[in-house]
Amino acid sequence: MDGFFLSIGVGLCILVFLALYRVVFGPGIFNRVAAVSAIGNKTLIMLLIMGVIYKRIEMFIDISLVYALLNFICTLAISKYLEMEGDK
Amino acid sequence: MIRVYDDIIVKTIARILTPFIQIFALYVIMHGHHSPGGGFQGGVILGASLILLFITHGLKETKKKITEKGIAVLSSLGVLIYSGIGLLCIILLGNYLDYGKLSKLLHVVPAEARSLGILGIEIGVGITVMAVMVSIFLNISTGGTLLEDEEDNTR
């Protein structure tokens, strides 16, 4: 069973790099914001998979909750900043 | 400066989410010795919940509930709790932050007194970190000018 979760984790790692391409070269700022948010979600799932592999899932759920929360606030803050820029 | 926009989805989600975030922050502070977390991390989550309110509801609206003066008082109060517990241990003929000596005051066995003393320290750290995080956010978002001067030079 560990091999299954490990392969999912490696697949998610590759997907993170694909999203990173969009962050660096993506046309426009909205593509970049969406890609950063997607990277955050993938990292969250990778944290949970890490918890399953280490057999300490109850500890990693706390960490991933905080991660999801800060990711949400980060996306909101970036959106607010963009709104402010268009105002001038 | 952060202004209010008529965005009902973001405002409603922030309003519903904030109490849950704060309860989770209290859980992180209280369970610091069983799971990852502690005073600093819980304080950061508490501060994040207040920052979420500032971002979504605008500075002027939230300033009515959370004032600059109240934040300054809270940031000092946490340090006062921390050093107060430490000095209380010195008064009870122990070292600084020697929680075992608190057992005479609390009428419990020394092991439980240590646990309660550490919890008090964590609460103090959490309050201070929360207040300082919000203070940093306010200072950055207003560009360094104090909130009281904001009415004069409206930008």
**What ipTM was predicted for this assembly?**
0.78
Question: Among residues 36-75 of chain A, which lie with CB inside 8 Å of chain B?
Answer: 58-59, 62-63, 65-66, 69-70, 73
Distance in angstroms (rounded) separating the CA atoms of residues A27 and A15: 19
Picking from A10-24, B44-58, B64-78, B101-115, which range would have the lowest pLDDT averaged per residue?
A: B101-115
| % of chain B at pLDDT higher than 70 | 88
A73:B51 CB<8 A:
yes
B55:A76 CB<8 A:
yes
Q: What is the 3-state secondary structure (H, E, C) of chain A?
A: CHHHHHHHHHHHHHHHHHHHHHHHHCCCHHHHHHHHHHHHHHHHHHHHHHHHHHCCHHHHHHHHHHHHHHHHHHHHHHHHHHHHHCCC
Question: Taking Cα atoms as reference points, which of A27, A57, A18, A5 lies closest to residue B35?
Answer: A57
Q: Say if B91 falls within a structural domain.
A: yes
Q: Say if B153 falls within a structural domain.
A: no
Mean of pLDDT values over B109-138:
90
pLDDT tens per residue, range A28-44: 888 899 999 999 999 99
A20: left (phi over 0), alpha (psi -120 to 50) or beta: alpha
What is the enclosing helix (H) or strand (E) of B10? helix B8-30
Q: Say if B96 falls within a structural domain.
A: yes
Tokens found for residue B22: 């704060």
Q: Which domain holds residue B24?
A: 8-148
Question: Taking Cα atoms as reference points, which of A12, A74, A21 lies closest to residue A44?
Answer: A12
Q: Is the pLDDT of residue B6 over 70?
A: no
What are the residues of chain B with a beta carbon less than 8 Å away from any beta carbon of chain A? 2, 5, 10, 14, 21, 24, 28, 35-37, 41, 45, 48, 51-52, 55-56
Q: What pLDDT score does B155 carry?
A: 40
Q: Å from B6 to nearest chain A CA?
A: 13
Q: What domain count does chain B have? A: 1
Distance in angstroms (rounded) separating the CA atoms of residues B27 and B39: 10
Residue from the list B5, B45, B55 with its beta carbon closest to the beta carbon of A66: B45
Q: Say if B63 falls within a structural domain.
A: yes
Distance in angstroms (rounded) separating the CA atoms of residues B35 and B59: 35
Q: Is the pLDDT of residue B34 over 70?
A: yes
Distance in angstroms (rounded) separating the CA atoms of residues B84 and B121: 9
Give the side-chain half-sphere CA count within 13 A for B61. 14
Average pLDDT over all residues of chain B: 84
B10:A69 CB<8 A:
no
Q: Say if B122 falls within a structural domain.
A: yes
Indicate the residue type of B27: Y
